[in-house]
Each structure stands twice: as structure tokens, then as C-alpha cells.
Structure 1
């Protein structure tokens, strides 16, 4: 199970750095977008001659929305990486467009739980500013036994490594 969570978050670990991709697990959900596009395409193909205009408009609108949502996931959410670098005492954010943008100093980082309608997740932020600007670094967890077990595994395999890096900055 240890490798499973590291694969899920695409964790890359070295002596003084740790990188993780908190939305990497969204890749599994992309199959549903593709399936929806295939179903819409098959329905349109089957009824191509006898399809009313309003059905064509609805199918086209759904197709455009699904493609836009999928592109948003592929370009703006899934490629996000956070790198915790004890050597430079920085937390970096990288995505499809920007590489290694420094967010704040590692020794000024605070780890906390953030909650909303989807559940709670681990997040990071700069001390004294984390309630204004924070960055989610885990999936959402709930109160079920399975979800609590996932949260414990995340704490043991990923958060503990981040805390070790913070400790390397402040001996």
C-alpha cells in the first residue's frame, strides 16, 4: 500500500526535496469524460437522420461542456506539482505553464486541514497568511473508517516526509 499512495500522488523524493502532484489521482476520472463523449457521439450517430434540432443543440452543448471541463482538468489541475526543498528553504509550485514558482519559505510553512462541502483535506500555507491563501495537497477525506485509514496512510507516508524536510531547515 505504501507504493500505492506514492503512485497516487506521483511522489518524487530525494535527500533534501519532496515533490508531489496532489491532483494526479484525477487521471482516473478522465475515463468518465471520454465515456460520456463516446455515448453522446453514438447517440448522435444512431439518430443522425431523425434527430430533432433541439436534441442536436443539447448534444452539442454537452459535448462542448465536457471537452472544456476535461481540458481544464488536463491543463490546469492535474499537472500541478508542489516541491518542498529544504536545501533552498522554499516551497515551489509548478504547472503546465510555470515551472518552480516560489510560494514561500519552507520554515514559514504551516500544514493544516481545510474543510468544505466535499470533506476535509490537508493544505499548506504561509504562517499568518494561510487563512487567506492556501494550497490543497491531498484528496478530500471524510469520516468513514476507509477514509480515515487513507488519511492515516497519507500522514505516515507523505506528511511525515514533509515535516522531516522542515526539520532539516530548522535544526
Structure 2
């Protein structure tokens, strides 16, 4: 459960639900750098193939940067001092999502896979924020979900409900 980077203090709880994306981001960045560094030296490659490889490298680099900014670096801060939940982006840009007492945890399903999300109690199905990876119906996924509930979800609920 290290991939969620859960940190708990007496007044704050921080979770990075998309921290597991970082290995994929590193791989895409590495592959795009390899393409941009080595393709110019392959003079026997056709002009069209060379630019197709540059396009693939550019798309992978764009995807890695996008994932890093909007997923890999995102944190959720549960703050008892301000009684608020914040979504923190890169460069410490904070967006207040809701008050702690307005939070509801729901199960969301996309493409047949279930995930846990937080939302405001009366609007949780309209606007919600995923705080877990997706879980399918397999044995390994069920074991990961049980581990997630015990190590991540229960501490979040205890933190929010503790006054």
C-alpha cells in the first residue's frame, strides 16, 4: 500500500492516490528521450519512418507530462485545522473540494472496474474524486481491495470521524 503514500499526523492526512502512475511516467519519458536521442543517428531510416518515430516520441512525452501534472503529483489533504479537504496539484496549487463533515465515500464503476471516490454527501454522484486504483473481480484484485480498505480507507474514515 506504499503506492498511496498515506501520511497521518494529528491534524492532517495526506494521500497520493495516483502515485502508482509514476513508474509508467518514467518509462514513457525514458522511451521518448531514447527516440529523440538515437533516431537522428540512424541515417538509413526513411524520412517518413523517422518522423513517425518523432511523432510517437512526442506523444509519449506529452502523455508523461500530462500524467505527471494531473495525476502523479496530485495529493489529497484532509485538514482538521480548516475542516476542509483539498486537492493539491504540482507547485502546491490548492483547490478546496469540501468540508470534512460533507465527505461521503462512494464506489464508482467505470468500464466494469470499481474504485473508491470521495464527494459531497448530497452531490457525490455528480462530482466525485477517485482516491483509489481500480479493482476488478479477480482474486488478486479482491486481495488488493481488502488491503486497501484495511490500510487506507479505514484510517481515512477514522481520521475524518475523530474529533
Task: Please confirm whether the aligned pair reaches a TM-score higher than 0.5, indicating the same fold.
Answer: yes
Runs (5+) with no aligned partner, structure 1: none
Tell me which stretches of 4 or more aligned residues in structure 1 moved more than 4 Å: none
Q: 2:33–2:57: 8 Å Cα contact kept in structure 1?
A: no
Residue-by-residue CA offset, 1:94-133 (whole Å, 9 max, x unaligned): 1114533221111111001111116111100001111111
Q: How does 1:142-157 map to 2 (within 5 A)?
A: 142-157=136-151
TM-score (norm 2): 0.89
d(CA) in 1 for partners of 2:96 and 2:36?
44
Match of 2:66 in 1: 72
TM-score (norm 1): 0.85
Report how many residues are paired.
Answer: 163
- Counterpart of 2:117 (choices 111, 119, 123) is 123
Runs (5+) with no aligned partner, structure 2: none
d(CA) in 2 for partners of 1:81 and 1:98?
9
Match of 1:18 in 2: 13
Bigger Cα displacement from structure 2, 104-113 vs 9-18: 9-18
SS at match of 2:134: coil
d(CA) in 2 for partners of 1:67 and 1:38?
8
Match of 2:104 in 1: 110
